[in-house]
Each structure stands twice: as structure tokens, then as C-alpha cells.
Amino acid sequence: MKHYVIVGNGVAAIGAVEGIREHDPEGRITLISEEAVPTYGRPLISYYLADKIKLDTLPYRDEKFYNDNGVKLRLSSRVVSVDPKEKHITLMNGDTVAYDELLLATGGTPKQPPISGIEGEGVYNFTTLAHAEALKDVIDTVDRVAVIGAGLIALKAAEGFAEKGVDVTVIVRSRLMRTYFDETSGELITRHLEKNGMRFLQGAVTEAIVRDGGGGVKGVKTDKGFVEADIVVVAAGVAPNMSLAAEAGITTGEGIRVDDFMRTSEETVYAAGDVAEARDLLTGEYTVRPIWPNAYTQGRYAGMNMAGANQPYSGGLSMNSITYYGLPTVSVGKTVEEPGVSVHTHLDEEAFIYRKLLFTEDILVGVMLIGDIDAAGFYTSFIKNAFKLDDDGMQLLIEGEPSPSLWPDEYIEAMMNNP
């Protein structure tokens, strides 16, 4: 009987348990996590901070899940090393755990930029339930918060505070959500959030977190002026937790490099989720895509392959879908207007509606939607499957009508036979 060991307890780890059990109902599974709580919906912590949901709605799988799947759960346990030759890992408390197949699903850690004053009280991160709990403890005692960062975690933290009536200023070095959205989208999102009371300082370099004589936060000094704040949330990106792999001699790049089976450079060690550097479906390049659907799917494939399924993962796709204060946004695939890519846009500034399509010749390779996202699923199907389109088909997509009647017959037949 195989012993599967999974480090991490996020969505990638859960996907792996489900993938293993699809192919191996008997093997032992041990899941080891540094966090003190069972798995939860990480993207939900801003709603928890804002009191929009209760703690009992956060779990992503209930505790019964672990029993039902025969998983031995070791919480509050940090793994400090991996020995791929001896096939065991070592925990902080000195225990060693032997494995037949190991998955590193260790996610990422918030980056701490070298800003003067960043160390000390009043400065927070926002990626874990413990971070949300720490902020919940102070949220009712603060009037002003400064958020440093421009990505989805920064905006989600800002939204959590704004919902609670706290005065929020987001300090952005370049512009909002630049990994997934273009300037026009960023402007629409900014305007919408400003309408809801948040302030933005874009193109501003943070120079220091300024403290008073007692060490408390007074505000943030930027090259565009001083932002008064009682506390600061630093959300300046997340770095993959890949040191366990790197120190064990496993190949790493931006993250832990994996092949199409989610296997690392070591035969019996796999990686998945925010820590993994996997092949991108569109570009073929190896990259880290730190988003929820990728983490689950990669985890699931890792689990299936650890259990011997030998099934390649079709590749990750850059994707982002978030609703900011009721404004839905979606970005899938390419966002950059490179040579050879044709671009078609539709903008209704008053209605906060924007649509941008990117084509390489007759194939849709990217889409951005703001305001009206009803057709997002259909657009994604065209990107994922690289369906070729004739002129009429392209026109329908450009006009916002990506009907499934444009799918190739073979695809529709395969869907009917394999619903």
C-alpha cells in the first residue's frame, strides 16, 4: 500500500486528495500543514474581514472530508526539509515522515519590500485566515488604512476595509491589476471603486512607513505625497514557497518546475498550485499562475499521477475573475498586444462595460470583459480549444455573441458523447 504525503492544505492539496482517491482508494494519505485550521476558501477572507460571511462558511471542504478520504491531518506542523534520496521529510519538531509519493503544495508567502518602517506593529499582510483574524481584531479601532499593492489581494483587502466604513487609500506603484487587465480596464475598475469611496494613488513610489515616537503607524510617505494611516496592509505580491525543493536539489525557476504530469525533477516528488511553475496552454512557456482554478486542477492531476494514472495536464491558462463592489471582471488568456495579434474593443464608459478580444490570425487567444461577463464561459472555450473561426464567426465574437453554434461539429459530438 502506497503512502502519499502532501505538504500544504490549500486547494491544490485538496485537489490532490481527490485525484489520488479517483485511482487509489486504499493508499495512506498524510496531509501536513503549517496553518492551524483545516482547509478554507482563501479568496473569501476579505468577506470574512468585512463580516459579510461567518467563520463557519469559510471551510472549502468540511472536516468529514478528511475522514471520508482516509486522510491523516497534521496541522500546525511545519516541514523543514525533504530528502528525496531517502524518501522522507522532516518536521520542525524533529519527526520524520517517510513517503512513497510526495506532493509539495506549499503556496506562497507575501513579499516584504525593503521599505523603511515596514517592521513593527501596525503593518499587516493579507493572505491567510490568521492575517484576517489579526485585522479583524483592530478593524473597529482604526479610521484610516493604507494598502500598498495593486493586485487582487490588495484590492480585496481594500474592499474588506471599505465595506466596514474605514477610509482606504491604495498606493499603487504602476497601475491596477496590470498582470491581467489593460489600462482601460484598470481605469474603469478604479473609477468604480472610487465611486464606492476608496482612494487611489497610482504611479506612486512608497518611500517609508512613518511612525510616531511610540512606534505606532502615522502614515506612508510616497513620492506623490503623504498618506495618513493608522495601519498599513502590504500586498506587494506573493513569492512561491519553493525553498524545500530548492534545498533538496529539485529544479526550480520562478517556482518549482513541473512536467505535464506535475512531477518535479525528482521521480517521486510532485508540485502543484501557487508554488509550481507549469506549462502555459497558450504560450508553452513555464510559468507560475497563482490562481484558484489552476491550483485545484494542478493538484488533481498531481494526485492522479501520484496514484499512477499517467494523465498529462493540458496546461494552465492565465485567468482572472473577480467582482469588485458589484462590478464583475474577467480576463482569460493573452492580455498583451504583441506583433501578430489583432485587437478589437468595445467600450461604454457610462455603463462601465468594456470588451477586448485578442486574435492571432483566426484564433481567439485572449479576452477581457468588464461589466458584462455573461459570455465569459463561451469565450474561454474558444481560447482553450484554439478553434479556428471564419470571418462571420470572428465578427460574432467581436460583437459579444460567442455562440456555441460556432463550435466545430467534432467538438459538439464529443461533448454529447462525454457530457
- Contact between 34 and ligand FAD by CB under 6 A: the answer reads yes
- Contact between 295 and ligand FAD by CB under 6 A: the answer reads yes
Closer Cβ to ligand FAD, 33 or 185, answer by number: 33
Q: Of the candidates 4, 5, 6, 9, which one interacts with ligand FAD according to CB under 6 A?
A: 9
Beta sheet of 167-172, edge-to-edge order: 123-124, 231-234, 144-148, 167-172, 199-202
Closer Cβ to ligand FAD, 163 or 274, answer by number: 274
Window 149-188: residues binding ligand FAD (CB under 6 A): 152-153, 156
Beta sheet of 101-104, edge-to-edge order: 71-74, 28-32, 3-7, 101-104, 269-271
Backbone CA torsion sign across 116, 119, 125, 128:
positive
- Contact between 73 and ligand FAD by CB under 6 A: the answer reads no
The CA-CA-CA angle for residues 116, 168, 171, to 5°, reads 45
Give the nearest distance from C-beta 182 to ligand FAD in angstroms.
Answer: 19
Give the three cell numbers for residue 251.
Answer: 529544479
Give the nearest distance from C-beta 410 to ligand FAD in angstroms.
Answer: 31
| The residue type at 266 | E
Give the nearest distance from C-beta 105 to ligand FAD in angstroms.
Answer: 5
Largest CA distance in the chain: 72
By CB under 6 A, which span of 18-26, 42-50, 344-352, 407-415 interacts with ligand FAD? 42-50
Q: Of the candidates 309, 322, 347, 396, which one interacts with ligand FAD according to CB under 6 A?
A: 322
Decide: 81 and 93 in contact? Cβ < 8 Å: no
CA–CA distance, 2 with 100 (Å, rounded to integer) = 6
- Contact between 134 and ligand FAD by CB under 6 A: the answer reads no
Assign 65 to helix, strand or coil. Answer: helix
Give the nearest distance from C-beta 47 to ligand FAD in angstroms.
Answer: 10
- Contact between 297 and ligand FAD by CB under 6 A: the answer reads no
Give the nearest distance from C-beta 6 to ligand FAD in angstroms.
Answer: 9
CA–CA distance, 395 with 160 (Å, rounded to integer) = 40
Q: Measuring CA to CA, how many Å separate 33 from each of 8, 12, 72, 170, 314?
A: 5, 12, 11, 32, 28
Window 269-288: residues binding ligand FAD (CB under 6 A): 273-274
Window 243-262: residues binding ligand FAD (CB under 6 A): 244
Which residues have C-beta within 8 Å of that of residue 80, sequence separation ≥ 6? 90, 91, 92, 244
Give the nearest distance from C-beta 211 to ligand FAD in angstroms.
Answer: 26
Give the nearest distance from C-beta 418 to ligand FAD in angstroms.
Answer: 26
- Contact between 195 and ligand FAD by CB under 6 A: the answer reads no
Give the three cell numbers for residue 416.
Answer: 454529447
Give the nearest distance from C-beta 329 to ligand FAD in angstroms.
Answer: 10
- Contact between 219 and ligand FAD by CB under 6 A: the answer reads no
CA–CA distance, 185 with 176 (Å, rounded to integer) = 9
Which residues have C-beta within 8 Å of that of residue 295, sequence separation ≥ 6? 10, 11, 12, 15, 105, 272, 273, 274
Give the nearest distance from C-beta 289 to ligand FAD in angstroms.
Answer: 8
Q: Of the candidates 30, 43, 260, 371, which one interacts with ligand FAD according to CB under 6 A?
A: 43
- Contact between 13 and ligand FAD by CB under 6 A: the answer reads yes
Burial class (CB in 10 A: 0-12, 13-18, 19+), 54: exposed
Question: Rounded to the nearest 5°, which phi and psi values hold at 407?
Answer: -65, 145
Per-residue binder mask for ligand FAD (CB under 6 A), 83-122, x = binder = ----------------------xxxx--------------
Binding site for ligand FAD (CB under 6 A): 7-13, 32-35, 42-43, 45-46, 78-79, 105-108, 126-127, 152-153, 156, 241, 244, 273-274, 290-293, 295, 322
